[in-house]
Amino acid sequence: MRMRMRRGIRWAAALSVIALIAAACGDDGDGGGDGGEEGPFTIGVSNTLVGNQWREQMICAIKAQARVSGVVDEVVLANRDTDATGQIADIEGLISQGVDAIIVNPADATALDDVIATASDQGITVVAVDQAVSAEDAYNVTNDQVAYARLGAEWLFEQLGGSGNVAYMRGFDGHPADTARDQGWDEAIANYPDINVVSEVHTGWDPSTGAQQALEIITTQDVDGIWTSGIDYPVVEQFQNADEPFVPIVGADNNGFIEQLIELEDGGLVGAIVTNPPPVGGVATAIAIDLLTGAEDHPRDTLLTPEVYDNVDDLDALEELFLPDLPQGFVSTMEIEPWTTYTAQDVLDCKGPGEE
């Protein structure tokens, strides 16, 4: 079967980029290496959650952007399930291997400050993705996780008419992105005093765990709506397995959830996606290369603003996003203009420089 290649929404138009210049007096935004080098460069990647489709797609975007850049000869991947302590050890390992830049998905917002400073002292450019870090030497390229939760929660609360029982299905306990999303949730629910949270769980962003939790919630709680931190299509499946009527559900732009919103729209399912594209890893790679080569300067913080699409008013947009030949957990937005210069097929191939 030939796969339809779609980018989904054109992010050049849909994204709002907020440039936050570092507050230190005299800071000109330069960090890591001095820039102006020709390469070739080695890019390290530190990831602490294995087997997660979003993280895998993030890594593929990093590899794809590195490959098409023409100035990166190797991507060194430190990829395992670990905590901040383990991640510090992994970053130390990347430093010892002499990488030129490190793309890090942080396990903690503050615990990496010292090791990032060590990298910067050795001329290594460090870019955090998915969630910002506090290290003054790092660049942050992130999806706005506070807005992610706030926008989705506001959609859900409005869908319920401002009152009702909701389940709050979070991500990985202690991860900076989950903490930021919890802030956004709190900001939203503060304006809806008649919304009652009857269940709050951490899914660990694991579909199997989320499915089990959803089934228990559905069969033991009187729930009028569910907000999920990206564990969405398994939740819909549990309503079907339990033969229970759907309630409004908020999820991420996972391919399987988009398909459910399209196909079950006539079957009573009402839901919304909030975009959280893993190609933010490709954006971080492009920025790191710019900084290494001196091609372009960048602010310390680049923030990508999420969009909300539901199957009430935005069915056409959901149909454009859906990729029928890709896995349920795959995010169909694979390119983010103007930063990434690879193709969607490059992400699917998931090959870095020198990989056959």
Model pLDDT for residues 168-225, shown as the tens digit of each residue? 999 999 999 999 999 999 999 999 999 999 999 999 999 999 999 999 999 999 999 9
| 316 inside domain | no
**Considering only CA atoms, which of 129, 128, 68, 57 is closest in space to residue 280?**
129
Residues of the chain with pLDDT under 70: 1-35
**Residue type for position 240:** Q
Q: What is the pLDDT of residue 340?
A: 96
pLDDT for 122-180, tens place per residue?
999 999 998 899 999 999 999 999 999 999 999 999 999 999 999 999 999 999 999 99
Instruction: Give the domain extent around 59.
Output: 11-144+277-306+329-339
Torsion of CA 156, 227, 177, 9, to 10 degrees: -60
Contact residues for 171 (Cβ-Cβ < 8 A; gap 6+) = 177, 178, 181, 202, 203, 204, 205, 229, 230
Structure tokens at 66: 């590195």
We report the CATH number of the domain holding residue 41 as 3.40.50.2300
Q: What is the pLDDT of residue 48?
A: 96
Q: Per this entry, what is the length of the chain?
A: 356
**b/e per residue 24-47 (b: at least 16 CB within 10 A):** eeeeeeebbbebeeeeebbbbbbb
Q: How many domains, in total, are found in the chain?
A: 2
Q: What is the pLDDT of residue 28?
A: 42
Q: What is the pLDDT of residue 35?
A: 67
CA angle 290, 291, 296 (to 5 degrees): 55
Distance CA 32, CA 116 (A): 10
Q: What is the pLDDT of residue 10?
A: 40
Q: What is the pLDDT of residue 151?
A: 98
Q: Are residues 259 and 282 in the same domain?
A: no
Q: Are residues 126 and 232 in the same domain?
A: no
Burial class, 351, CB count within 10 angstroms (exposed 0-12 / middle 13-18 / buried 19+): middle
